[in-house]
Amino acid sequence: MAKPGSDTAQTEGRGTGAKRGASTRARGRPSTETAAAIDRAILQTARDLFFEHGYESTSMAMIVKAAGVSKTTLYARYAAKDELFRASLNLTVSRIQNGQLSTGRRETQDLVGGLEAFGRDAIMISRLPLWTNYERMIFAEGQRFPELAEVVSQRIDTGIQTVVTFITEAAPREGIVCDDPDGMATNYVMALRGYYTAAVLRGRVPTIEECDHFVGKLVAMLIAGCTHKT
């Protein structure tokens, strides 16, 4: 055993203190990165369980067990199930909104090509499992959580404005007149919306080929009915 005051004793003391310090830090608050990872795990687990079992049948105890966290950890972040439900669905919305609804390179696309590109993009995003599950959750819990439908409404408005902008830019380049770009865009986006909503309600996701066929026929009908040559 080292004598008190010796170099060995001082080294051992420093080592013991360092270990105690490390142990104290390990038992303290998690780092920012660790806390963020825990929160993501909770939200993703909760979202998946809500999608699978529905709001009513999913309990906080189920989420604790599936996420591998303690009740204290969960309730420190989300005091009630409805609060966690909203947060988990907000995560879904942020993931969905990463998908871009666009008409590609507008300056080089003709009117038909750009509208078809938008329609394909819109339906491809709608075919994502995250969005399909979100749609089903709206039908199941829309009255309890009206903000769910507001997300869809905002997405529709954004889509309509995107199409209006494209029509007003592309049509004149081809000598095409559209007397009501807003009406044409609204009809187009709502028809796309109705097509996919009907598929979700039937429980059958349309194939890519079926979607392309629908978009092509819809664009041809809109061009014939809403535009004319100068």
Same domain (yes/no): 206, 162: yes
Task: Supply the CATH number for residue 64's domain.
Answer: 1.10.10.60
Pick 56 or 7 by higher pLDDT: 56
Same domain (yes/no): 106, 80: no
Coil, strand or helix: which one is 216?
A: helix
Q: How confident is the model at residue 200, as a pLDDT?
A: 75
Does residue 89 have a pLDDT over 80? yes
- Calculate the CA 205 to chain-centre distance: 18
Q: pLDDT band for 213, please (50, 70, 90 cuts).
A: very high
Instruction: Please report whether residue 9 resides in a domain.
Output: no
Instruction: Please report whether residue 81 resides in a domain.
Output: yes
Same domain (yes/no): 133, 177: yes
Burial level of 41, CB count in 10 A (0-12/13-18/19+)? middle
Same domain (yes/no): 112, 133: yes
Structure confidence by residue, pLDDT tens digits, 30-72: 788 888 899 999 999 999 999 999 999 999 999 999 999 999 9
Tokens 């066929």 -> residue: 213
Same domain (yes/no): 162, 206: yes
The mean pLDDT value for 183-188 works out to 96
DSSP 109: -
Same domain (yes/no): 208, 123: yes
Distances 187 to 97, 103, 201 between C-alpha atoms, Å? 22, 17, 21
What interhelical angle do 111-126 and 208-226 show, nearest 10?
140
User: Is beta strand 176-178 parallel, antiparallel or unpaired with respect to 227-229?
Assistant: antiparallel
Distances 16 to 5, 9, 11, 28 between C-alpha atoms, Å? 15, 10, 9, 18
Same domain (yes/no): 127, 222: yes
Structure confidence by residue, pLDDT tens digits, 121-147: 888 888 888 888 888 898 899 899 998
Domain that holds residue 141: 99-229
DSSP 30: P
Q: What percent of the chain has pLDDT over 90?
A: 53
**Do 219 and 167 contact (CB within 8 A), yes or no?**
no
Mean confidence (pLDDT) of the chain: 83
Please say which residue of 63, 87, 111 terminates a domain.
87
Instruction: Please report whether residue 94 resides in a domain.
Output: no
DSSP 207: P
Q: How far is Cα 114 from Cα 60, in angstroms, rounded to an integer?
A: 46
Q: How confident is the model at residue 108, as a pLDDT?
A: 56
